[in-house]
Structure 1
Amino acid sequence: MEIKQFEYKPLAHYSYAIVDNGEMAVIDPERNPMQYYVYAQEHNAKIVAVIETHPHADFVSSHLQIHKETGAPIYHSKDLGADYEYEPFDEGQSIMVGDIKISALNTPGHSPDSITVVAEKDGKTALFTGDTLFIGDVGRPDLREKAGNMTAKRQELAEMMYDTIQNKFKDLPDGALVYPAHGAGSLCGKNLSSDNSSTLGNERMGNWAFKPQSKEEFVDTLLDSQPFIPSYFGFDVDTNRRGPENLRTSIAKVPLQLNTSINGLIVDVRDETEFKKGHLPGSINIMAVSEDSKFETWLGAIVNPEEPFSIVIKKPDDIENILERVAKIGYEKQVKLVLTLDETAVVESDKLDLTDFKTNPDSYTVVDIRNDSEVAEGKFFENALTIPLNHLRSSLSQIPKDKPIIVHCAGGYRSTAGTSIIESNTDNVQVYDLGENIKDFI
């Protein structure tokens, strides 16, 4: 039994291939399936199954595309209620991949339709736990109140998670390998470890969820201080349940124009330095210049599902990478146009006099766009107005316009986006990005 873990760092997502005797199963695949095809070919294996542990909220899966391009059946719980053809895969059911027995455990808690995939061969066991059991934590229970075939309140799912942790893993060996769908940095849990795998024995010893506690104590801990929910999460649950389009054909529909300008909602993905030197009026800077940047998360937190927008890129050959990243969260259909700039149509951002701000802080309105949990740990400026970045576009009326405005986060990436949002909706008031200079005040 050979197991390959694939990582997509911006979403802290893990997907898997299991290979044995010329056959391969793919578990929780990301939007682009090519890496799984390459791996199968390198190992002279035929993809015979694609398995979904649940309908994912933070990314769009390629399960339907893999099915159509390889003929491999899709397996997941019947409770998911998918609109496409699939094979029900619930407790008591199993399939063979080579000589590996792969079976399902119904493990609700993160979602009502979650399963854990159990792979067994020659006395070895591997658990693909999806968003149920993470390394050091369990999945959040508050994402299925409005989306999916089965909806459930967070209290109800938290209680299901308690029962899952108490009962579903108890007959499995300590040596069983644990492979989750996410690691540290994912918004699908709150205290995920940076480790990418573990053993069930280690989790029984070190994961808070396995410690002796009442259901009430467990539920209170699980529900407390969960991270914010980006607006795209429910949209992706429903997209995955309906069955996403083929990635290649979907992004091919988006037009490209060079040296032009456009109106409407504009997302400029260039580096902040280039953006501040010249950008289209009204555009929002969500940088996608780093392979590790959280571009997808903030795009899906700032731009609403089904809201049309255009994208500004630095150079024409950036289009493929950018559209694939947009498609990771299923937003490619919303893109009206990808463009490079007509330099005659751009405006510059205001440049902050840092010395003046340090000398006369009361002469500015300071907007803190960190998350609520970050602000709860302490404010950097006592009189700062706190509006998390994911609420900023809908909360602009709360920001006074009688003073110049300074925007900050914890390190600089989000403040660039926040500054551009306020700037795009504010006339006759200077708006400044404190950026990395926030370090001078921490």
Structure 2
Amino acid sequence: MHIEQIYTGCLAQGAYYITSDGEAAIIDPLREIQPYLERLERDHVKLKYIFETHFHADFVSGHLDLSKKTNAPIVYGPTANPAFETIIATDNQVFEIGKIKIQVLHTPGHTLESSTYLLIDENGKDHAIFSGDTLFIGDVGRPDLAQKSATMTQEQLAAILFHSLRTKIMTLSDDVIVYPAHGAGSACGKNMSKETVSTIGEQKQKNYALRADMTEAEFITEVLDGLAPPPAYFGMNVAMNKSGYQSFEKILNNGMRSLSVTEFEVAAEETGALILDTRTSGDFCKGYIPQSINIGIAGDFAPWVGALIANVATPLLLVTEKGKEEESITRLSRVGFDNVIGHLDGGFETWKNSGKEIDTVKRITAEEFASEVVIPEHTVIDIRKESEYSAEHVEEAYNKPLAVINDWIKDINPQEHFYIHCAGGYRSMIAASILQARGYRNFTEVEGGFNAIAKTGISRTDFVCQSKMMK
């Protein structure tokens, strides 16, 4: 028996590849399936089943393409009702893979079809669970994502999750290994650990939601407390996972269309496509195509695209570093952004060398920022998450998280200059590109963000400024 966790950091997502005696199973595969096909060929095994823990909201699964390529059936837990052919398992149904077995444990609450897969080894011993979004390391799945489709409240779903955990998971032996679908950084929970593997016993001791003395009412209150609104693209990803989607090969072929400067301009004008520049913040600020949005590939690229662009059907034109075209298209497809209509041949340098108009972002170093800023005379906007801001921030700075920029951008006084920063410069350049695309030029972005600012002598505090930004 072999178990491999295939962890994708930018999505904080874990897929699982399991083999036994010439047969294999894959749980919660990513959109691009070639790596799985290569593993199967390398190990000389036949894929017998593709297991899905639920209809994912934060990424598009590769289940359909993988099934078509291998003829392996897709398995969902009870109550799932996809628009394509699958095996809808019953609670406690057992599937054999080589000398091992996988038992379906229906564990609704995160969603109604959510299921945990219990792996029983060659000796008949409970070995591990693949818990999907039911149980994370340090947390449990948020019960508010399925409300629209479930026709019930988040409180009712939380109550269902409470019982799923206590009747199906906490009754397992303490030495059973826990393999979750996500880790820290995923929006599918709020308190996930950076660790991606644990045991039932360890989670009973450390996971706040598995306290033995916890009542149902306490569970509901604590699980729902502090949940941020889910990203807008989540519902669209659920629909794609449930109803189907175009093959990844077709998406990649479309996106890999290489466009000349003239063709790029025509495509942008005729389609109204958003120009997405995936270069680093340092390169972007020095020069970019006007109206472009910068979300760097070297970061949490796909989740930020989903959070800020929101509509997965948005037509996209890409500007990338040379050789990063396929990676950009692939990572976009993971969150359902399939409408990439091409990329600029040669990237930004081709545009620049053609003599076309370019734009820049005013960026200064942290040292320059510290020498220029007079507190409280100057306005400073910190776009980090509230938790980051609360830990420590520039004195008198306003906290306006990037995730909700569409809410606070309207509060900016276009006549008043301000400074903007995040933790390291990645998010603040995203914000800068959005601001300038919306016509705001009255700001300066700080290179290196708060990590660099904290090394200067500027005044900092953990006191939260309650004032609102002036209009």
Normalising by structure 2, we get a TM-score of 0.86
1:308 to 285, 308, 315: 315
Superposed, 1:177-188 pairs within 5 Å as: 177-188=177-188
383 and 205 in structure 1: CA distance in 2 versus 1, 3 angstrom threshold = closer
Task: Find the aligned partners of 2:370 and 2:184 in 1 and give their Cα distance.
Answer: 39
Match of 1:408 in 2: 421
Contact 2:110 2:142 in 1 (8 A): yes
Deviations 1:122-150 (A, max 9, x none): 1242111001111121111121223x5x4
SS at match of 2:448: helix
2:67 maps to which residue?
A: 67
Instruction: Find the aligned partners of 1:9 and 1:81 in 2 and give their Cα distance.
Output: 30
Instruction: Read off the aligned partner of 2:306 and give its amino acid letter.
Output: G
* CA deviation after TM superposition for structure 1 residue 397, in Å: 1.9
Q: Secondary structure at the match of 2:66?
A: helix
Asked whether the 8 Å contact 2:137–2:193 carries over to 1, the reply is yes
Once the two structures are TM-superposed, the CA of residue 430 in structure 1 deviates from its matched residue by 2.9
What is aligned with 1:22? Answer: 22
Q: CA deviation at 1:352?
A: 3.7
Between the aligned partners of 1:144 and 1:33, the Cα distance in structure 2 is 27
The answer to whether the aligner puts 1:348 opposite 2:356 as a matched pair is no
Match of 1:396, SS state, is helix
Q: CA RMSD in A?
A: 2.1
Alignment deviations for residues 196-215 of structure 1 (CA, whole Å, 9 cap, x no partner): 21121222222222211111
Partner of 1:266 in structure 2? 275
Give the match's secondary structure for 2:285. helix
Please report how far the alpha carbon of residue 107 of structure 1 lies from its aligned counterpart in structure 2 after TM superposition: 0.6
- Counterpart residue identity of residue 244, structure 1: Y
Q: Secondary structure at the match of 1:49?
A: strand
8 Å Cα contact 1:408-1:415 kept in structure 2: yes
2:335 corresponds to 1:329 = yes
Residue 423 (structure 1) aligns with: 436
CA contact (8 A) 1:21 1:99 kept: yes
d(CA) in 2 for partners of 1:92, 1:314: 49
Give the direction of change, closer, same or farther, for the CA distance of 1:337–1:396 in structure 2 (3 Å limit).
farther
Runs of 4+ off more than 4 Å: 361-364, 375-379
CA distance 1:336–1:395, shift in 2 (3 Å): farther
Distance 1:102 1:37, change over 3 A: same
Name the amino acid aligned to 1:295. F
- Shift in CA distance, 173/383, structure 1 to aligned 2, threshold 3 Å: closer
Asked whether the equivalents of residues 413 and 435 of structure 1 are also in contact (C-alpha less than 8 Å), the reply is no
SS in 1 for 2:307: helix
- After superposition, where does 1:364-403 map in structure 2 within 5 Å? 364-377=378-391, 379-382=393-396, 384=398, 386-403=399-416
Structure 1 residues 437 and 14 mapped into 2: Cα distance closer, same or farther (>3 Å)? closer
What is the TM-score when the length of structure 1 is the normalising length?
0.92
Asked whether 1:435 is paired with 2:437, we answer: no
Q: Percentage identity across aligned positions?
A: 33
Query: Does the 8 Å contact 2:415/2:442 carry over to 1?
Result: no
Superposed displacement of residue 314, structure 1: 2.4
Aligned residue number for residue 246 of structure 1: 247
Note the C-alpha offset of 1:240. Answer: 0.6
Question: Greater shift after overlay, 354-363 or 249-258?
Answer: 354-363
Q: Single out whichever of 130-139 and 227-236 deviates more from structure 2.
A: 227-236
Q: Which amino acid aligns with 1:125?
A: H
Equivalents in 2 of 1:437, 1:69: separation in Å?
46
State the alpha-carbon separation in 2 of the partners of residues 139 and 29 from structure 1: 19
The Cα shift of 1:72 comes to 0.4
Instruction: Tell me the distance in 2 between the aligned counterparts of 1:46 and 1:138.
Output: 33
Structure 2 unpaired stretches of 5+: 461-471
SS at match of 1:329: coil
Residue 406 of structure 2 aligns to a residue whose secondary structure is coil
Give the Å deviation of 1:357.
6.3
In 2, the alpha carbon distance for the partners of 1:348 and 1:180 equals: 42
Q: Quick one: distance in 2 between partners of 1:15 and 1:361?
A: 48
Separation (CA, whole Å) in 1 of partners of 2:404 and 2:369? 30
Task: For residues 145-190 of structure 1, give each alpha carbon's deviation from its aligned partner in whole angstroms, at most 9, with x where no partner exists.
Answer: 23x5x45432122111111122112442222111111112222112
Q: Which residue does 2:286 correspond to in 1?
A: 277
Amino acid at match of 1:19: T
Structure 2 counterpart of 1:10: 10
